[in-house]
Chain A
């Protein structure tokens, strides 16, 4: 799976380190800046209304009341408000969203590519993405229209006339809508899981005519080979040993166990088990450290980059085969306790050929495990990777180890000889065939620590969606505290769109703002919103500059203003794409707890800040009223 940005440990991410100032400090600084700015803004508004001297007291009183409200918020009253929000949501027929979701699942089979190489990925991606969008929309509508409707219908007065604090109103709404969303999400999760498991489940039978004895080179019968029936757009070939146990080849991302069963009359039948290997949650241990992946060039000299073979996507670097070029992954915390029977290594390497070679043969490679301190290395282990597929290789516990001083090999132990005392080791990869290249990125090779239940990972994926939903609810409630329903909805929607397209907006911003940006530097061509619109209606190619003149100058200035606003907006809203984890679930990788921790902390920070902002907005509205 492609992971372009390294996942830091939770504390590396949270606290200041060599990698940056840390999320906590960033949050504190941002909070301080926003507090100061909003106080100044509040003072300006109050000054306009009450005069400069009284404004000071109004603002100070507001803050003091806020602190008091926060300190004296009653959980009982908050839950009562939450119950009210739930009742209101149920009255607004929120279950329709679930019905829509069921309808989508009913017809999903029409749109999903059932002949895909990996149908599991598509099924999982579909249910997670559909749920994500649907739940966010639901949260948006619930949160954005609730308070404005109450204010419009004046039902809010039945609440505010009671001894209820504004914090309790805001927290209660957030809590109530979150509860409703959580229940819906839980139902969707359950239905989705059943949909995925049932959708991918299928059976094969064995074609009797295809059964052939499998013979060794000496002619001895080693088992049976055969073919299964065509089901779900594929069929498998299989091999069963003389003990009657075997398995099929991998097709469409899965395989089956095949067992021979002897009947009452002594006849042998073959049973094909359920699909395996598709719904997984691999726990990868990625390389780590200041230089997690480094390269040796063809002369064996160290470097940080490999060769670019002309691929437009510069994710992978390549090493030349048949030379001294190597790719070296450095691992930390490798211990006997984690990997008692050796190192299970999985890799997905790219292959680039400069000549055809033997078309039917896979480009061979060699792997060595190296102790970074002593230089002891394992004897090369040969492997034949398949491009774009995960190749599994087990480095055994006992293996031949080469002494760097004498270059002599002896029997050795993986952990004693090739792993340092503090758990460091390196994996060296070499392409064996001259003229051919291997391509690799940091996460293309990992140690397989464990395989966790798919269901658990699936739930983790839903927790990510839940976090996004909570943030959207908070934004909706905040905007609805001072805007009318429709406008609050539009504002929340804008925050979602900005959050999902943060990279794109940043690209437009950088491509337009930087006057020295070359064509290749520009991430997104075509200028800002006004320029894009102008190009659209005049059918002007994005690579051609606008004709110089007053018109283009005005367009550029207007865009500049809008893009600055958009840039500030993207800095304020959460990056929803980073809160998503559907790819991990779809590609069969366990969602890293560190990543989940980071997402939860980010969401919590937004919830706290936005809810407090919502409270002040509501408070200001009450004051105005």
Chain B
């Protein structure tokens, strides 16, 4: 009996030993050997080691090795997922009951259990920086918690080396959370002087010395740019670390956008002059030259460059001309031929200007436009037989170029490429810099209660007026910017100017030179005007009544004062705000809310689809409404 038991045990041990052999063979680690000639040779090791190496699965390849993390994972005997789940619930509970010490401790434990789960890092970093920080009333505590979320992400980047999403997310937090929160001014100030925090990631992850702003301290937007650049570098150099979850078009725009944001916030902080202009110059360079000339992978299966649109268009034009020469006919001729075959009502619909068409004519014109459209192939078919092959090739090339033109246009509109390019070009001019500087100076003078000039000291009133002239000149050159956040940001200063005038018992000028900005961006001003117009209309309707006296803010319809030569000529007899008159109070309410939403969207990513849907299909910046006539119509 005992002997039998003994044999059985021996058999078990032998089986275990046999099973260990293949396991040992499979799991053999790679070995580096040095021969007599000091040449190193790497032996690949077992299959498991090979697979680990192939897919970068070993911890050393994924990122830093943390003994605590490894111990916890071992101690949970493979149940680290379950443990993380329990801790996740605890985290939610601690957050609910505002037990912040235990909340953060639980988050740290989760991450030790799941150090290579990227989404966990992202989610909890957001939870800490955004959801937890706002629970605190004191802005310094808020800053500390935002910072803690970022530190968390930086830790994530250490555990998961060269993970583009984490690196880009870190850049996002540095930029957006410090730069766009309600407490942005305070956060930016605290961050710039938080040298202990800087030392946590500099110089081993990004070099803070490359992010020194005009204040002489590190700027959050420039730090953000460095993190984005690091993420970009990984995507460019590590094909095994592809970008996931974000469009390459957006991803690659981040560094340049951070540079632009840096320039914008510098101006807000009161830095003007040559250096500010240089910053805009650099921003333009990064946006138009670096980002614009980057090969962007598209969902169409090919790559494109945003700044090649102009070349594509020129080439398309050239191709079309060559095709016309080969075909011996022009596009216009063919179009006319097709038009001649249309029904008379279709021709009439086409010839009627779009704004005068009836609904039926719109439909007819839409169909007729498609009928008379001439394709390159149709033109090529007109070519003589000896030139037909060449014409076909050219037609195909032009068609391809047109497709590329359309696609680049679409991609450019997604990131508002043209707007930012123009903005950089405008902001780097001396005129824009001067205009901003004057407004900033005027605001300062107003704060110091220096209202009017005296004994060589310029007053707020004169400085404001000088600033408005500079801005008017700028908008005259770039009327597209009237609809922009740049113009909207002037509204508070214009209101300050109004206050300054009221302190001097002066009326706000009826022919205010930047009235169009108020019409477009100041809700209060629009309502005031509306009220005046309604009062005027009511007074006009009541027999024998007189028009109410003007409060000075609005010229009466048809009674506008004569404009001076510099302001252009107003539209004779046209009402000051014709579009406002057509709206009911209820519609105005909706417009206001929409306007607010649009403004919020523009703050996040200015000039996207919401502002000008038409622009999404056209690379042109000019808006039909934004022309010089509009500007001068409201300026007197």
B21 at the interface (CB under 8 A from A): no
Which of B67, B105, B112 contacts A122 (CB under 8 A)?
A: B105
| Inter-chain contact A388/B139, CB cutoff 8 Å | no
Please tell me which stretch of B95-103, B360-368, B406-414, B616-624 contacts chain A, meaning at least 4 of its Cβ atoms lie within 8 angstroms of it.
B95-103
Residue of A nearest to B142 (CB): A359
Contacts of B330 in A (CB 8 A): none
A542 at the interface (CB under 8 A from B): no
Contacts of B100 in A (CB 8 A): 117, 388
The complex places the Cα of A388 from the Cα of B144 at a distance, in Å, of 14
| Inter-chain contact A111/B101, CB cutoff 8 Å | no
Residue of B nearest to A352 (CB): B137
- B133 CB to nearest A CB, Å: 12
A116 at the interface (CB under 8 A from B): yes
| Inter-chain contact B112/A2, CB cutoff 8 Å | no
The complex places the Cα of A112 from the Cα of B68 at a distance, in Å, of 10
The complex places the Cα of A309 from the Cα of B348 at a distance, in Å, of 64
A387 at the interface (CB under 8 A from B): yes
The complex places the Cα of A460 from the Cα of B308 at a distance, in Å, of 76
Contacts of B355 in A (CB 8 A): none
| Inter-chain contact B97/A387, CB cutoff 8 Å | no
The complex places the Cα of A408 from the Cα of B112 at a distance, in Å, of 63
| Inter-chain contact A111/B109, CB cutoff 8 Å | yes
A235 at the interface (CB under 8 A from B): yes
| Inter-chain contact A359/B96, CB cutoff 8 Å | no
A113 at the interface (CB under 8 A from B): yes
With contacts A110-B71, A111-B68, A113-B104 taken as known, whether A386 is within 8 angstroms of B97 at the C-beta atoms is: no
Which of B136, B139, B151 contacts A360 (CB under 8 A)?
A: B139
Which of A2, A113, A313, A387 contacts B138 (CB under 8 A)?
A: A387
A294 at the interface (CB under 8 A from B): no
Which B179-227 residues have C-beta < 8 A from chain A? Answer: 182-183, 186, 196
Which B63-98 residues have C-beta < 8 A from chain A? Answer: 67-68, 71-72, 96-98
With contacts A110-B67, A111-B72, A359-B183 taken as known, whether A351 is within 8 angstroms of B101 at the C-beta atoms is: no
The complex places the Cα of A345 from the Cα of B105 at a distance, in Å, of 30
User: Residues 355-374 of chain A: 1 if any B CB is under 8 Å from the residue's CB, otherwise 0?
Assistant: 01001101100000000000
A-B interface contact total, Cβ < 8 Å = 63
| Inter-chain contact A235/B196, CB cutoff 8 Å | yes
Which A310-336 residues have C-beta < 8 A from chain B? Answer: 312-313, 315
Contacts of B148 in A (CB 8 A): 115
Contacts of A110 in B (CB 8 A): 67-68, 71
- A292 CB to nearest B CB, Å: 21
A121 at the interface (CB under 8 A from B): yes
Residue of A nearest to B72 (CB): A111
Contacts of A356 in B (CB 8 A): 182
Contacts of A121 in B (CB 8 A): 101-102
A230 at the interface (CB under 8 A from B): yes
Which of B71, B98, B151, B183 contacts A388 (CB under 8 A)?
A: B98
B628 at the interface (CB under 8 A from A): no
| Inter-chain contact A386/B196, CB cutoff 8 Å | no
| Inter-chain contact B101/A230, CB cutoff 8 Å | no
Contacts of A117 in B (CB 8 A): 100-101, 104, 144
User: Residues 145-165 of chain B: 1 if any A CB is under 8 Å from the residue's CB, otherwise 0?
Assistant: 000100100000000000000
The complex places the Cα of A94 from the Cα of B96 at a distance, in Å, of 41
Contacts of A116 in B (CB 8 A): 101, 104-105
| Inter-chain contact B96/A2, CB cutoff 8 Å | no
User: Residues 476-490 of chain B: 1 if any A CB is under 8 Å from the residue's CB, otherwise 0?
Assistant: 000000000000000
| Inter-chain contact A353/B137, CB cutoff 8 Å | yes
B141 at the interface (CB under 8 A from A): yes
The complex places the Cα of A2 from the Cα of B102 at a distance, in Å, of 13
| Inter-chain contact B97/A315, CB cutoff 8 Å | yes
A107 at the interface (CB under 8 A from B): yes
- B193 CB to nearest A CB, Å: 12
B108 at the interface (CB under 8 A from A): yes
Which of A122, A360, A363, A387 contacts B101 (CB under 8 A)?
A: A122
Contacts of B112 in A (CB 8 A): 111
The complex places the Cα of A562 from the Cα of B137 at a distance, in Å, of 47
Residue of A nearest to B195 (CB): A230
| Inter-chain contact B108/A113, CB cutoff 8 Å | yes
Contacts of A107 in B (CB 8 A): 68, 71
Contacts of A2 in B (CB 8 A): 97, 99
How many chain A residues touch the partner (CB < 8 A)? 28
Contacts of B108 in A (CB 8 A): 113
| Inter-chain contact A313/B196, CB cutoff 8 Å | no
A522 at the interface (CB under 8 A from B): no
| Inter-chain contact B68/A351, CB cutoff 8 Å | no
A118 at the interface (CB under 8 A from B): yes
| Inter-chain contact A387/B96, CB cutoff 8 Å | no
With contacts A111-B109, A313-B97, A356-B182 taken as known, whether A387 is within 8 angstroms of B141 at the C-beta atoms is: yes
The complex places the Cα of A125 from the Cα of B105 at a distance, in Å, of 11
| Inter-chain contact B99/A359, CB cutoff 8 Å | no
| Inter-chain contact B96/A312, CB cutoff 8 Å | yes
- A315 CB to nearest B CB, Å: 7
Residue of A nearest to B108 (CB): A113
- A83 CB to nearest B CB, Å: 37
Contacts of B101 in A (CB 8 A): 116-118, 121-122
Contacts of A387 in B (CB 8 A): 135-138, 141
Which residue among B102, B109, B196 has the maximum number of chain A CB atoms within 10 Å of its CB? B102
- A210 CB to nearest B CB, Å: 12
- A390 CB to nearest B CB, Å: 14
- B187 CB to nearest A CB, Å: 10
- B73 CB to nearest A CB, Å: 12
- A438 CB to nearest B CB, Å: 10
- A213 CB to nearest B CB, Å: 20
The complex places the Cα of A117 from the Cα of B141 at a distance, in Å, of 10
- A182 CB to nearest B CB, Å: 29
Residue of B nearest to A351 (CB): B137
The complex places the Cα of A62 from the Cα of B151 at a distance, in Å, of 69
Contacts of A125 in B (CB 8 A): 102
The 10 tightest CB contacts between A and B, nearest first, are A110-B68, A351-B137, A387-B137, A118-B101, A113-B105, A121-B101, A113-B108, A313-B96, A359-B139, A116-B101
Residues of A participating in the B interface, judged by any CB pair closer than 8 Å = 2, 107, 110-113, 115-118, 121-122, 125, 230, 235, 312-313, 315, 351, 353, 356, 359-360, 362-363, 386-388
- Return 10 A-B CB contacts under 8 Å, by A number: A111-B68, A111-B109, A113-B105, A122-B101, A353-B137, A386-B138, A386-B141, A387-B138, A388-B100, A388-B141
- Given A107-B68, A117-B100, A360-B139, 13 more pairs with CB closer than 8 A: A2-B99, A111-B109, A113-B104, A122-B101, A312-B96, A313-B96, A315-B97, A356-B182, A359-B186, A360-B186, A387-B135, A387-B138, A388-B135
